[in-house]
Structure 1
Amino acid sequence: MFETGDKIVYPNHGAGTITDIEKKEVLGETKKYYVMQLPIGEMRVMIPMDNVDDIGIREVISSDRVDDVFQILKGEKSEMSQNWNRRYRANTEKIKSGDIFEVAEVVRNLTLRDIEKGLSTGEKKMLSNSRQILISELVLAEDKDKEEIEEEIDEIFFDTEEENEEDEE
């Protein structure tokens, strides 16, 4: 069980801080909910406490694991299906897993693909969503603001793009 003040990850939504525990009556049934505040977009999410295990709620990674996330972002693009639909489904599963390392892989692969070939509208939206999920957890793990984390991520891909251009010369 989590408590007020705990930093958690809600798969497919991102990371946030539990600000409250509320009881709500829905369809004549009273249930307890975690109230989670996301650091990006000032969004509040209510999570039914009796579904926490099924949903896959977990604690935010520790700050000493952040370097592992950045190593994934700096890594080589992994093999992805050329079929848009299969690629989209595989990436969706990784995002739904709630595993920050899988989300980082999606961000890396889609960003590199976007730089190389461009992305469809659906994959652009997926990249944007997976970036937000990744950034929300890194903001809480590192206790930095959104802009700092975005800049660190962008530097990885901007530097990678420059190196590729130098290699081609």
Structure 2
Amino acid sequence: MIVKYFLFGVYSKIKENIITINQGDRIYHPGYGIGIVKLISNKSFVGEKKTTFIQLYFARNGLTWQVPANNIPSTIRSIISATEARKIISHLQSWKGKVSEQWKVRATANQAAIAIGDPYRYAEVVKGLSLMKEHSTLSATDLKHLSLGLEFLCEELAEALNKTQERVGELIKDAIASPPAVA
């Protein structure tokens, strides 16, 4: 059984608007990480017509989640490709943005970036807070956001590049430390 659904603006740089889900596919959810489509089935309950359900399993949390196909959260998306992963590492290296000096503004922006599930935004959170950490002490919230951003980014890049999360962590550190390439 194949299920197709529309995604509306999950993240800015990857333009996919329709996702097709098949049993056995790997997917990504920002709160739960990489998951696998375990089962697609039709079920009916007393007084209701048959509905297609998708059962997802997320190893990071040991979570099994059954959701109606017509109610899949817009934050679920396909896992990025190896090509996209390399673009994200390049983005991490070349990104020149800055984090706000105001802790409330910074915390709100970083939380929003993490919640949306955009790997480019994860990269920006990681780079911004890593560079900030070099010059000052990070707050507990900043440390949490840095840790989450790094965890989520490593998890997905490792999956896309078929590398260990430790190796991807090294690639991320190298990208942050190296100067951007001159065009």
Q: 2:71 aligns with which of 12, 33, 51?
A: 51
What is the aligned length? 156
Which structure: greater helix fraction?
1
CA distance in 2, matches of 1:17, 1:94: 24
Q: What is the DSSP-based 3-state SS (H/G/I as helix, E as strand, rest coil) of the residue aligned with 1:82?
A: coil
Whether the 8 Å contact between 2:32 and 2:58 is mirrored in structure 1 is no
Paired with 2:108 and 2:146, the residues of 1 have a C-alpha distance of 13
Q: Which has the higher contact order (CA 8 A, sep 6+)?
A: 1
SS at the partner of 1:80? coil
Structure 1 distance, partners of 2:128, 2:122, is 10
Closer/same/farther in 2, CA of residues 74 and 11 from structure 1, 3 Å limit: same
- Percent identical among aligned pairs is 29
Q: Is the 8 A contact 1:4 1:19 kept in 2?
A: yes
Aligned-pair Cα RMSD in Å: 2.9
Taking a change above 3 Å as real, the CA distance of residues 81 and 56 of structure 1, as seen in their structure-2 partners, is same
What TM-score do the two structures reach when normalised by structure 1?
Answer: 0.76
Once the two structures are superposed, what CA deviation does each residue of 1:72-123 show, in whole Å capped at 9, x if it has no partner?
2212441322110111111111111111111111111111111221211111
Query: Secondary structure at the residue paired with 1:78?
Result: coil
What is aligned with 2:160? 141
In the other structure, the counterpart of 2:28 is 9
- Aligned twin of 1:66: 85
- Which amino acid in the other structure matches residue 111 of structure 1? S
